[in-house]
Structure 1
Amino acid sequence: MGYSYKDAGVNIQAGNEVVERIKPAVARTLRPEVLGGLGGFGGLFKLDLEKYPDPVLVSGTDGVGTKLRLAFQMNKHDSIGQDAVAMCVNDILVQGAEPLFFLDYLAVGKVEPGRVAEVVGGVAKGCEMAGCSLIGGETAEMPGFYAEDEYDIAGFSVGVVNRNQLIDGSKIQAGDVLIGLASTGLHSNGFSLARKIFEAYSLEKVFPELGEALGETLLRPTRIYVKSILPLLAGGEILGMAHITGGGLTDNIPRVLPPGLGVQINTSTWEHPPIFTLMQRLGDVAWPEMYRTFNMGVGFVIIVHPEEADKICQQLVELGENCFVMGSVVSGEGVAY
Structure 2
Amino acid sequence: MHTSYKSAGVDVQAGYQSTERIKKHIARTKIQPLNQIGGFGGLFALDTQGMARPVLVSGADGVGTKLKFAFLLDQHESIGIDCVAMCVNDIVCVGAKPLFFLDYIALDKNQPSKVESIVKGIAQGCILAHCELLGGETAEMPGFYAKDEYDLAGFCVGVVEESKMLNIQNVRAGDVLIGLASSGLHSNGFSLVRKILSDRRIDPLTYTLEGQNLAQILLTPTKIYVQPLLQLLKHIPLKSIAHITGGGFFENIPRALPQGLGAKIARSSFPTPPIFDFLCTQASLEPQEAFGVFNMGIGMVCVLSPSHAQEAIALLHAKGEKAYLLGTVQEGAGVHLC
TM-score, normalised by the number of residues in structure 1: 0.97
More displaced stretch, 287-296 vs 48-57? 48-57
Taking the aligned partners of 1:47 and 1:236, their CA distance within structure 2 comes to 26
Taking the aligned partners of 2:249 and 2:306, their CA distance within structure 1 comes to 20
1:157 lines up with 2:156 in the alignment: yes
Contact 2:60-2:87 within 8 A present in 1 as well: yes
CA deviations 1:55-104 (Å, max 9, x no partner) are 10100100000000111111111110110100000000000000000000
Residue in structure 1 matched with residue 230 of structure 2 by the alignment: 230
Contact 2:63-2:79 within 8 A present in 1 as well: yes
Residue in structure 2 matched with residue 281 of structure 1 by the alignment: 281
SS in 2 for 1:134: strand
Contact 2:205-2:215 within 8 A present in 1 as well: yes
Structure 1: any 5+ residue segments left out of the alignment? none
Taking the aligned partners of 2:235 and 2:168, their CA distance within structure 1 comes to 16
Residue in structure 1 matched with residue 308 of structure 2 by the alignment: 308
SS in 2 for 1:100: strand
SS in 2 for 1:238: coil
Residue in structure 2 matched with residue 25 of structure 1 by the alignment: 25
Q: CA deviation at 1:18?
A: 0.8
Q: CA deviation at 1:52?
A: 3.2
Residue in structure 1 matched with residue 147 of structure 2 by the alignment: 148
1:333 lines up with 2:302 in the alignment: no
Question: What RMSD, in angstroms, separates the aligned Cα atoms of the two structures?
Answer: 1.1
What are the equivalent positions in structure 2 for 1:153-302 lying under 5 Å apart?
153-199=152-198, 200-208=201-209, 210-235=210-235, 237-302=237-302
Q: How many pairs are equivalent?
A: 335
The one-letter amino acid paired with 2:29 is T
The one-letter amino acid paired with 2:262 is G
Q: CA deviation at 1:6?
A: 1.0
Taking the aligned partners of 1:131 and 1:53, their CA distance within structure 2 comes to 23
SS in 2 for 1:102: strand
Q: CA deviation at 1:152?
A: 0.3
Contact 2:236-2:312 within 8 A present in 1 as well: no
More displaced stretch, 61-70 vs 1-10? 1-10
Q: CA deviation at 1:178?
A: 0.4
The one-letter amino acid paired with 2:242 is A
SS in 2 for 1:313: helix
SS in 2 for 1:117: helix
Contact 2:71-2:149 within 8 A present in 1 as well: yes
The one-letter amino acid paired with 1:314 is A
More displaced stretch, 146-155 vs 216-225? 146-155
Over the matched positions of the two proteins, sequence identity in percent amounts to 51
Q: CA deviation at 1:329?
A: 0.3
Taking the aligned partners of 1:171 and 1:235, their CA distance within structure 2 comes to 17
More displaced stretch, 50-59 vs 168-177? 50-59
SS in 2 for 1:170: helix
